[in-house]
Amino acid sequence: MRAVTVGLAFVAFALPGSALAGDDGDHYDRVSLRAERSRQVANDRARAQLGITLEDHDAVELQYRVNEIMEWATQVATHYDEVKAQTGGYRTYPVYKNQLIDHWRATQELRVESGDVDRITELVRVLQTRLQLQSVTFSVSPGRREAVENELIGEAIGAFKDRAELVRENLGAASYRIVHVGIGTAGTVPAPVQIRAMSAMKEAGAAPALEPGTSTVTVSVEGELELRN
Residue 84 and residue 112 in contact, taking contact as beta carbons nearer than 8 Å: yes
Residue 64 and residue 78 in contact, taking contact as beta carbons nearer than 8 Å: no
How far is it, in rounded angstroms, from Cα 149 to Cα 159?
A: 15
Which of 80, 107, 139 corresponds to the end of one domain? 139
Range of the domain at 12: 3-42+143-188+218-228
How far is it, in rounded angstroms, from Cα 166 to Cα 187?
A: 28
Count up the domains in the chain and report the number: 2
Q: Hey, how many other C-beta atoms are within 10 angstroms of the C-beta on 181?
A: 14
SS3 assignment, position 159: helix
Task: Enter the pTM of the model.
Answer: 0.68
Q: Are residues 89 and 122 in the same domain?
A: yes
Q: Hey, how many other C-beta atoms are within 10 angstroms of the C-beta on 148?
A: 21
Q: Would 183 be classed as within a structural domain?
A: yes
**Which H or E run contains 67?**
helix 59-77
CA separation (Å) from 91 to 77, 106, 127, 150?
Answer: 22, 5, 20, 43
How far is it, in rounded angstroms, from Cα 74 to Cα 181?
A: 49
Percent of the chain with pLDDT over 70: 78
Largest CA distance in the chain: 84
CA separation (Å) from 124 to 74, 83, 162?
Answer: 12, 11, 49
Amino acid at 209: A
**Phi, psi (deg, nearest 5) at residue 145:** -60, -45
Residue 186: predicted pLDDT:
86
Q: Are residues 132 and 168 in the same domain?
A: no
Mean pLDDT of the chain: 84
Q: Are residues 77 and 100 in the same domain?
A: yes
SS3 assignment, position 83: strand
Under DSSP, the state recorded for 212 is -
Q: Would 213 be classed as within a structural domain?
A: no
Under DSSP, the state recorded for 131 is S
| pLDDT tens by residue, 90-126 | 999 999 999 999 999 999 999 999 999 889 999 999 9
Q: Are residues 161 and 100 in the same domain?
A: no
Q: Return the CATH number at 82.
A: 3.30.70.360
Pairing mode, strands 30-42 and 214-228: antiparallel
- Sheet containing 83-97: order of strands: 83-97, 100-114, 45-56, 132-139
Once rounded to an integer, what is the mean pLDDT over residues 19-35? 66
Once rounded to an integer, what is the mean pLDDT over residues 49-72? 96
What pairs with residue 95 in β-bridges? 103
Residue 225: predicted pLDDT:
94
| pLDDT tens by residue, 191-211 | 566 554 455 455 545 556 677
How far is it, in rounded angstroms, from Cα 215 to Cα 184?
A: 17
Q: Are residues 93 and 135 in the same domain?
A: yes
